[in-house]
């Protein structure tokens, strides 16, 4: 059994919880789960045992209640009634958003709040933590020597505090995984990589690669392999979910810009001018975002071609499907004692794959390396 704790019971987490239960009961096919049933761990091996949030309207309610409110349709698996959403650490992560939030560090100090969380996690024997909380502005800690001091001084963001607490949990209780599906640099922060190696933990990250970004990565690979010269890339994303609402705030938007646009130079080997980031919030679009992209490039004889892409993409289910793999791969990394991080996993599933210094590659290349690492065979090859 792989016991999972969720951080941030928003749309992605809710799609993950509902989808996973439906998969277990064969109520839906596994489209959108890249490694399907090829892994040694099966869907039925995964169990969500805890969920944390800081939104007052969610704390104390069950994942079932939240799914009934936010998941389309009303066929919600009854098993989600067993997961009650607990209060997490806030550290102002929802500042500036129209959400009433409170974290447990507001009643005691951060250190105590983190120790309390670790005790809860111990009682629930959590193996894998999934971070899908709201995107926050974060700078990496950098040096491991600074990490503890920064936590003591409460000079960390919520993601950094959770990642730190999970590291301590690995040392005090048992090895565990922190899947960082949001843009905060955790798998790209040398301090956390070193910390997880020392504490016997695994961190995957950063920022789940869904929607237009993996498609752009593969298009750029296509153009590179044909030695076409990319002149520029413009990619717009407009959505109506709370993630887009949060990303409308400039300091949060910059986080996505950092993870999304880093693929261009990594794959092409040169910096083509680009605008790739969430562009706006339009509530009626809901979770089905609008994506438009244009890539201009020079072909043989310096003739200019253009690629146009227009798409509507269901945002949250895309990441939820990847999480079904990441949880199982996380447990495999623990079984193999691959502490620190695993680039082969990050390169396929993340926009900015850690550890620092490693590049984003096209998803095609990443897929082949991932299969090799996981020791599974795609029946086509
Ligand atoms: P959401 O706004 O629906 O959910 C985020 C949840 O996190 C909310 O319930 C919020 O209250 C909670 N939260 C905020 N601060 C918290 C804290 N300190 N502790 C615990 N919970 C906290 O957003 P979403 O659409 O579910 O996306 C979640 C995250 O996943 C975002 O950061 C987003 O950038 C990232 N992401 C999403 C996609 C995708 O949807 N395809 C892809 C890549 C990354």
As a whole number of angstroms, the distance between CA 160 and CA 240 comes to 27
Residue nearest atom 1 of ligand 1, based on CA coordinates: 10
Pairing between β-strand 288-298 and β-strand 304-314 as defined by DSSP bridges:
antiparallel
Q: Which of 292, 313, 334 is the last residue of a domain?
A: 313
Number of domains in the chain: 2
- Looking at the structure, tell me whether residues 137 and 189 fall in a common domain: yes
Indicate whether residue 54 lines ligand 1 (CB < 6 A).
yes
- Looking at the structure, tell me whether residues 243 and 137 fall in a common domain: no
Q: Mapping DSSP to helix (H, G, I), strand (E, B) and coil, where does residue 223 land?
A: helix
Nearest to 12 by CA among 182, 229, 193: 182
For the cut 80, the answer to whether the pLDDT of residue 381 exceeds it is: yes
- What pLDDT was estimated at residue 262? 80
- Looking at the structure, tell me whether residues 323 and 273 fall in a common domain: no
Which H or E element spans position 325?
helix 315-335
Per residue in 49-76, pLDDT (tens digit) is 999 999 999 999 999 999 999 999 889 9
Domain membership flag for residue 141: yes
Domain membership flag for residue 333: yes
- What pLDDT was estimated at residue 257? 73
**Between 39 and 108, residue with greater pLDDT:** 39
Residue nearest atom 43 of ligand 1, based on CA coordinates: 208
- Looking at the structure, tell me whether residues 217 and 308 fall in a common domain: yes
* Mean pLDDT score, 126-133: 98
Q: Which of 286, 313, 340 is the last residue of a domain?
A: 313
- Looking at the structure, tell me whether residues 204 and 134 fall in a common domain: yes
* Mean pLDDT score, 240-260: 84
- Looking at the structure, tell me whether residues 309 and 331 fall in a common domain: no
Per residue in 265-292, pLDDT (tens digit) is 999 999 999 999 889 999 999 999 999 9
Which H or E element spans position 78?
none
As a whole number of angstroms, the distance between CA 325 and CA 39 comes to 9
- What pLDDT was estimated at residue 184? 96
Distance 381 CA to ligand 1 centre (A): 37
For the cut 90, the answer to whether the pLDDT of residue 264 exceeds it is: yes
Domain membership flag for residue 379: no
Distance 316 CA to ligand 1 centre (A): 10
CATH value at residue 56:
3.40.50.720
Indicate whether residue 90 lines ligand 1 (CB < 6 A).
yes
Q: For residue 369, name the pLDDT band (cuts at 50, 70, 90).
A: very high
Q: Give CA separation, 134 vs 49, 110, 304, in Å.
A: 21, 19, 40
Indicate whether residue 209 lines ligand 1 (CB < 6 A).
no
Task: Kindly give the residue spans of alpha helices, DSSP state H, lying in 173-303.
Answer: 190-199, 212-225, 242-247, 250-268
- Looking at the structure, tell me whether residues 281 and 336 fall in a common domain: no
Indicate whether residue 94 lines ligand 1 (CB < 6 A).
yes
- Looking at the structure, tell me whether residues 309 and 321 fall in a common domain: no
Kindly report the average pLDDT of the chain as a whole number: 96
Indicate whether residue 291 lines ligand 1 (CB < 6 A).
no
Question: Mutual orientation of helices 190-199 and 158-172 as an angle, nearest 10°?
Answer: 20
Indicate whether residue 206 lines ligand 1 (CB < 6 A).
no
- What pLDDT was estimated at residue 192? 98
| Non-local CB neighbours of 70 within 8 Å, separated by 6+ positions | 11, 14
Domain membership flag for residue 349: yes
- Looking at the structure, tell me whether residues 167 and 222 fall in a common domain: no
- Looking at the structure, tell me whether residues 292 and 329 fall in a common domain: no
Indicate whether residue 133 lines ligand 1 (CB < 6 A).
yes
- What pLDDT was estimated at residue 249? 86
Q: Which of 294, 313, 332 is the last residue of a domain?
A: 313
- What pLDDT was estimated at residue 31? 98
| Non-local CB neighbours of 380 within 8 Å, separated by 6+ positions | none
Domain membership flag for residue 286: yes
**Which domain range does residue 302 map to?**
212-313
- What pLDDT was estimated at residue 250? 83
Domain membership flag for residue 378: no
CATH value at residue 216:
3.30.360.10
Q: Give CA separation, 217 vs 56, 213, 289, 342, 345, in Å.
A: 39, 6, 19, 20, 16
Which H or E element spans position 357?
none
Q: For residue 81, name the pLDDT band (cuts at 50, 70, 90).
A: very high
- Looking at the structure, tell me whether residues 182 and 64 fall in a common domain: yes
For the cut 90, the answer to whether the pLDDT of residue 258 exceeds it is: no
Tell me the two tokens of residue 17: 């919880």
As a whole number of angstroms, the distance between CA 112 and CA 272 comes to 48
Q: Give CA separation, 276 vs 230, 271, 301, in Å.
A: 14, 13, 28
- What pLDDT was estimated at residue 248? 86
Q: For residue 302, name the pLDDT band (cuts at 50, 70, 90).
A: very high
Domain membership flag for residue 381: no
- Looking at the structure, tell me whether residues 202 and 216 fall in a common domain: no
- What pLDDT was estimated at residue 372? 98
Q: What is the pTM of this model?
A: 0.97
As a whole number of angstroms, the distance between CA 137 and CA 357 comes to 21
């Amino acid at each position: 059994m792989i016991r999972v704790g969720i951080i941030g019971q928003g749309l992605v987490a809710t799609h993950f919880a509902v989808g996973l239960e439906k998969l277990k009961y064969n109520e839906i096919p596994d489209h959108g789960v890249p490694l399907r049933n090829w892994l040694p761990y099966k869907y039925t091996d995964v169990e969500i045992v805890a969920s944390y949030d800081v939104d007052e309207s969610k704390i104390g309610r069950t994942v079932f209640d939240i799914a009934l409110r936010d998941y389309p349709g009303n066929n919600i698996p009854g098993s989600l009634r067993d997961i009650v959403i607990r209060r997490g650490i806030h550290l102002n992560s929802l500042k500036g958003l129209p959400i009433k939030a409170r974290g447990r560090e507001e009643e005691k100090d951060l250190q105590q709040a983190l120790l309390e969380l670790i005790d809860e996690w111990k009682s629930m024997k959590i193996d894998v933590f999934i971070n899908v909380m709201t995107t926050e502005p974060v700078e990496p800690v950098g040096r491991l020597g600074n990490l503890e001091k920064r936590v003591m001084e409460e000079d960390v963001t919520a993601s950094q505090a959770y990642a730190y607490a999970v590291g301590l949990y690995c040392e005090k209780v048992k090895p565990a995984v922190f899947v960082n599906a949001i843009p905060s640099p955790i798998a790209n922060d040398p301090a956390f990589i070193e910390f997880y190696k020392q504490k016997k933990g695994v961190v995957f990250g950063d920022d789940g690669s869904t929607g237009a970004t993996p498609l752009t990565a593969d298009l750029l690979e296509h153009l590179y392999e044909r030695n076409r010269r990319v002149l520029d890339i413009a990619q717009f994303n407009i959505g109506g979910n709370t993630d887009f609402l949060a990303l409308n705030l400039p300091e949060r938007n910059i986080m996505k810009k950092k993870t999304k646009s880093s693929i261009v130079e990594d794959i092409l080997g040169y910096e083509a001018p680009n605008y790739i980031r969430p562009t706006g919030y339009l509530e009626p679009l809901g979770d089905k975002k609008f994506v438009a992209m244009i890539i201009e490039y020079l072909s043989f004889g310096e003739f200019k071609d253009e690629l146009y892409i227009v798409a509507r993409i269901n945002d949250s289910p895309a990441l939820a499907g990847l999480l079904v793999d990441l949880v199982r791969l996380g447990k495999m990394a623990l079984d193999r004692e691959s502490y620190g991080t695993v680039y082969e996993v990050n390169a396929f599933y993340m926009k900015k794959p850690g550890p620092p210094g490693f590049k984003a590659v096209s998803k095609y290349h990443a897929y082949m390396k991932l299969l090799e690492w996981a020791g599974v065979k795609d029946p086509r090859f």
